[in-house]
Every structure is written in structure tokens, then in C-alpha cells.
Amino acid sequence: MVFYNLIKFGNHSDFSYEILVQRSGDNERIFKDLDIPIHRIPFSTANDYKNRLIQFFTTEQFDVVHAHMDTSMPIVLSAAKEAGIPCRVAHSHNARVDIPEILWPLFFLRHHPYEKFATHLFGCSRIALKWLFPLRWRKGHVINNGIDLDKFRFNAGTRRQYRAENDIAYSTKVFINIGRCTDQKNHKFILDLAKERIDKDELYIIIGDGPLFSMLTKYKEAHNLDNVRLLGRRDDVAEWLCAADVFLFPSIYEGLGIVAIEAEASGLNVLATDTIPEEANMHLGNFHSIPLKNKTLWHQIMSKETNSNEIRSDLSHKALSSDYNIINVVRTVEYIYNDI
């Protein structure tokens, strides 16, 4: 979604965009809506993939290659260099903060190729730069994961509508999380909270699919967690944020956590683990950093009063002037693209 927003709000009179992927995916349809060409080069072996990339880059004559996928980034950027592309961007979107930073030098040999062939280094946070680009991270650019903040502005009418359509009482406190069902996102922590608070008028919403979705569903059923709804993949995230009261973000690690930005922009209180990068805090006053092991503190803050509609509307308005406004982020990226 980061690159989608960069393209959607980009200056199409000065830049044209094309997408390169290894295989078809669910997100292709949103780029087709923008009339963006999508190319596919399947991965077979590293040498074959690189040779096909060089041929592709040479034929198409690009000025910029912006690589986002960690696993193939060194191959893509080395091919771009051999093809003579002057601007080669390596973009880090994550950081393994669950691994003690003192051990990060052990990953040097694996990570060095990521920065070796790049002319510019981007990271969604300072820690994401440091994780993937151990030698040159200080020369990198922190590029905020800008979003269309107006899309996530709180709307009281949407809140009433979604609660009514989904049989959620006015008095019910709704906790929500959005993210792929993987170990990193730590959804079982949310289910355990729900189990411990089963006697309260609360509802827990998890939006997202992934490899652990079936396991989470079985856990919910085994413990009779009627206060939990696993909704799978959804296209109405902004609307569900309006309907909710609190955003739970117990990830074990994140490069940034763009969903936290979306939740803050919707005026929700965000309860996040203290491993989430500082850049995820928009400093609106509704972001709370909590140690994952301090379950008592999680329960205490979860029991506090939620923001009123008026407060949420005010927070949404303040968010529009932040550095996460996609218009400001796009202009920064385009300025760097032109630095060739």
C-alpha cells in the first residue's frame, strides 16, 4: 500500500510508473484501477532471474528502480545497476527489534548486499534503516509511510451505521486490530486478553488473513470466545476503525506499523507494544506504549474511558497537518527521484 499511495498521489505529468512483480497477487487490482502497467518476471534461479531483469530494464529504459521486497532486493538492484539505471532505491519496511541490537552485526554479511547496489536508501523509520543497511543507514532517508489521512477521518455517521449493521450495541467497547495473521502480529495475545475479559461488555475485532488464521479460529472456538470476531481480509478498514473504540497493536516487532497511523488518524486510542518504533506515534495524544510483558498495565489502560465523538473528530483534524499526509511524503520522494 505504500507504493500504491506514492503512485496514486504522485505527479503524473512528470513521472510515469510501472509495477514489476514475480507472481500475481490480490493487490494487482488496485493498481489496475490506476491504469498502471504490471509486469511479471517469475523467480526460478538467481542467475536466470537477474539476466531476465537486466534484459527487461534495458528494454524499458527506466530512470528509477524502487525495490521494496527484501528477499529479492539485491538481485533487482544489481541488475538495475548493470542495466545503467541511474537512480536505484532500496526501501526497508521492517526491523527485527525482537533480536537484541547487540547481535545485529551478525547479520552484516546477509544485509550488506541490500545497500551495496543502491544509490538511495529509504526506511519507514530510523530503526528500519539501521536493520537492513548496517553500513550506510546514517545516509538514508526516513520516508514516512504516508497515507490518505482524509480517508481515515472519523465519521460519527459511519460509526452508527456500521455498529447497527453488525449488531454491535451502543454500550459495547470495541477493540480492533488489523494485520496479517502471523507470529509477528501476535494475535494470540489479543485472544488471551479477550479470554481474561470475557465477562465485560467488550468485542474484539481482528481484520486480516494469513497462515495463522485457521489456528486463531480454532483457539477462539475451543475457548468459546464469543466476544471475538475474526473477519479475514476486508476492504472497509476505515469504516471499521470508525466503529471501533480502541486499537490494539501487540506486535512483537514492526518496521513502523502503518495501521497505527491509520487508527490514530481515526481518533482511536492506540495501545502498542514498546517495541513499535517512535515514528509510529503521531504525537496527537492518543498513542500509548506498553511493555508486552506487563499484562496488568494492558488491562488497566484497556479499562479507561474511550474518546468521545467530539474528541475523535478533533484528533482526525489535527492528523491532517502531520508529516504522514501522503501529499507531503510524495513530494519528498519525487524530489529524491530527480536527484540523478
What CA–CA distance (Å, rounded) separates 150 from 153? Answer: 5
Sign of CA dihedral 26, 150, 179, 235: negative
First to last CA, the chain: 26
Mean pLDDT, the chain, rounded, equals: 91
pLDDT at 339 over 90: no
What CA–CA distance (Å, rounded) separates 159 from 144? Answer: 28
Sign of CA dihedral 211, 44, 89, 65: negative
The pTM is what?
0.74
In terms of Cα–Cα distance, which of 48, 40, 36 is closest to 22?
A: 40
pLDDT average, residue stretch 255-266:
91
CB within 8 Å of 128: residues ≥ 6 apart: 92, 93, 94, 95, 255, 256, 277
pLDDT average, residue stretch 273-286:
91
pLDDT average, residue stretch 230-254:
96
* Per-residue confidence (pLDDT) for residue 340, from 0 to 100: 64
C-alpha cell belonging to residue 98: 525482537
* Per-residue confidence (pLDDT) for residue 77, from 0 to 100: 95
Residue 284, number of CB atoms within 10 A of its CB: 17
What CA–CA distance (Å, rounded) separates 290 from 313? Answer: 25
3-class SS of residue 248: strand
Condensed to tens digits (0 to 9), the pLDDT of residues 79-137 reads 999 999 999 999 998 888 778 777 777 776 767 777 889 999 999 888 889 888 888 88
What CA–CA distance (Å, rounded) separates 76 from 58? Answer: 13
Highest average pLDDT, of 35-44, 111-120, 171-180, comes from 171-180
Question: What's the one-letter identity of residue 53?
Answer: L
* Per-residue confidence (pLDDT) for residue 167, from 0 to 100: 97
C-alpha cell belonging to residue 26: 490480490
CB within 8 Å of 235: residues ≥ 6 apart: none
- pLDDT over 90 percentage in the chain: 65
Condensed to tens digits (0 to 9), the pLDDT of residues 296-336 reads 999 999 999 999 999 999 999 999 888 888 888 899 999 99
pLDDT average, residue stretch 179-191:
96
- What DSSP designation does 207 have? E
* Per-residue confidence (pLDDT) for residue 108, from 0 to 100: 65
What CA–CA distance (Å, rounded) separates 36 from 7? Answer: 9
What CA–CA distance (Å, rounded) separates 204 from 199? Answer: 13
pLDDT at 257 over 70: yes
* Per-residue confidence (pLDDT) for residue 192, from 0 to 100: 98
* Per-residue confidence (pLDDT) for residue 324, from 0 to 100: 87
Cα–Cα distances in angstroms (integers) from residue 244 to residues 168, 189, 195, 206, 264, in the given order:
10, 19, 19, 11, 12
C-alpha cell belonging to residue 232: 479475514
What domains can you pick out in the chain, each with its CATH number? 2-146+325-337 (3.40.50.2000), 149-319 (3.40.50.2000)
What CA–CA distance (Å, rounded) separates 108 from 134? Answer: 7
Q: Which comes out higher in pLDDT, residue 177 or 137?
A: 177
**Where does the chain have alpha helices with state H?**
2-8, 28-33, 46-60, 73-82, 108-116, 126-132, 156-165, 187-196, 213-222, 237-243, 258-265, 295-302, 309-319, 326-337
What CA–CA distance (Å, rounded) separates 74 from 318? Answer: 39
